[in-house]
Amino acid sequence: MKKNVFAYFEQIENAGPKTHAAYRFSNESLPLLGYWKNSWSHFGFNPILVGVNVYRDFKWRKYFNFNLSDYIEDPESKLYSKLNWNSFEYHRARYRRLVAFSSFVLDNGLSLRADYDVFNYGVTPDFLETLPVNCCISPERSVVFQNEEGVQNTLNSIYKFIKNDEDQNESGDLEILQRYDTKINPFVCSRGISFLCRDEGDWSMKYKKSLLVHFDGQSKNLKKIKETYGGRDTSRVEILRCLRPTPMPNKML
């Protein structure tokens, strides 16, 4: 039986022109979705891509005595008061993603989440047997492995931030979870294998050999890469095809 891998995507409708950062998480992201599915299914996973309906259908009362939806949908809530860059729709999608994944785990048990721009170049389902429960493979939590207790703690962590009147620090989901979500730990591979490469300058040999690659739309070097591989208007998927076009295994796990 194939192991599931989960990703969340919603199109940001008012992303604005191509010069606006949020554009990279809407129109430009659509071509990546098929690429994402193919890269994971190639190595034996069952890729599941869900949207906003899974978030909206979540039964809060079944698991919690609070409902984060009221805060997530309110642009004036504390969740959006201190952001590193201002795009309500983008940050709202990130919080919706955490709820949708939690819903999936609570229905299906221990599960792997990989963002829709994390591509698989060699990780097989057997790798999950080596992972500790409730861990993140990347510091930015673009790949996480959680059980029911883990996702409940994640949502409780967001609620703790909302109710903590003294905490006025960065309010993006990653920053909040780094401060409050104490039940998730970073995974460190002891075999010298690169599992995830993100923002590695000109996309070094580490990128070319990594078994998981986060082709991040926020990469500080994306502009430079575009200029190298086709110009300012080159899309992420076009760059990806130039840099590493097919998910062929470097080392099967």
Query: How many contiguous H segments (helices) and E segments (strands) does the chain have?
Result: 10, 8
For residue 167, count other CB atoms closer than 10 A to its CB. 16
CATH number at residue 84: 3.90.550
For residue 247, count other CB atoms closer than 10 A to its CB. 18
**Residue 121 sits in which domain range?**
3-186
Looking at the domain assignment, is residue 233 inside a domain?
A: no
Task: Choose from 89-98, 191-200, 239-248 the range with maximum mean pLDDT.
Answer: 89-98
Looking at the domain assignment, is residue 19 inside a domain?
A: yes
Which candidate, 249, 201, 241, places its Cα nearest to that of 225?
A: 201
Percent of the chain with pLDDT over 90: 49
State how far the Cα of 137 lies from the Cα of 139, in Å rounded to an integer.
Answer: 7
Looking at the domain assignment, is residue 88 inside a domain?
A: yes
Q: What is the pTM of this model?
A: 0.87
Looking at the domain assignment, is residue 204 inside a domain?
A: no
Greatest alpha-carbon pair distance for the chain in Å reads 52
What backbone torsions phi and psi does residue 206 show, to the nearest 5 degrees? -60, -40
Looking at the domain assignment, is residue 238 inside a domain?
A: no
What residue ranges in the chain does DSSP mark as E strands? 3-8, 45-50, 111-114, 118-120, 135-136, 143-146, 185-186, 212-214
pLDDT of residue 248: 47
Which helix (DSSP H) or strand (DSSP E) does residue 72 occupy?
helix 69-72
pLDDT (tens digit per residue) in 52-110: 999 999 999 999 999 999 999 999 999 999 887 667 888 999 999 999 999 999 999 99
Looking at the domain assignment, is residue 160 inside a domain?
A: yes
What is the Cα gyration radius of the chain?
18
Provide the number of structural domains found in the chain.
Answer: 1
Looking at the domain assignment, is residue 45 inside a domain?
A: yes
Looking at the domain assignment, is residue 108 inside a domain?
A: yes
Per-residue pLDDT at 242 exceeds 50: yes
